[in-house]
Amino acid sequence: MKEIDKNNKTFEDIKHIDENRIEYWYARELQLVLNYKEWRKFENVINKAKESCKNSDISVFDCFVDVDKSIISGKGRKSIIKDYKLNRYACYLIAQNGDPRKKVIALAQTYFAVQTRKQEITEKEYRRLLKKLDGTMPEDLPTPKKSLKQLQKENNKSLKK
DSSP states along 30-80: HHHHTT---HHHHHHHHHHHHHHHHHTT--HHHHEEEEEEEEE-TTS-EEE
- CB burial string 3-38: b at 16+ within 10 A, e below: ebbeeebbbeeeeeeeeeeeebbbbbbbbebbbbee
- Predicted local confidence at residue 53, as pLDDT: 94
pLDDT mean across residues, the chain: 85
Rounded to whole angstroms, the Cα distance separating 86 from 66 reads: 9
CA distance 131 to 123: 12
Report the pLDDT value the prediction gives residue 60, as an integer from 0 to 100.
Answer: 95
Name the DSSP letter for residue 113: H
67 bridge partner residues = 83
Q: Over pLDDT 90: what percentage of the chain?
A: 46
Q: Given this model, what pLDDT does residue 98 score?
A: 95
C-alpha closest to that of 4 among 98, 101, 111: 111
Contact criterion met (CB below 8 Å) for 64 and 46: yes
pTM: 0.69
Residue type for 138, please? P
Phi and psi at residue 83, in whole multiples of 5°? Answer: -150, 175
In this prediction, residues 144-156 reach a mean pLDDT of 75
pLDDT digits (tens, 9 = 90+) for 80-123: 899 999 998 999 999 999 998 999 999 888 888 888 777 777 87
27: left (phi over 0), alpha (psi -120 to 50) or beta: alpha
pLDDT greater than 90 at residue 151: no
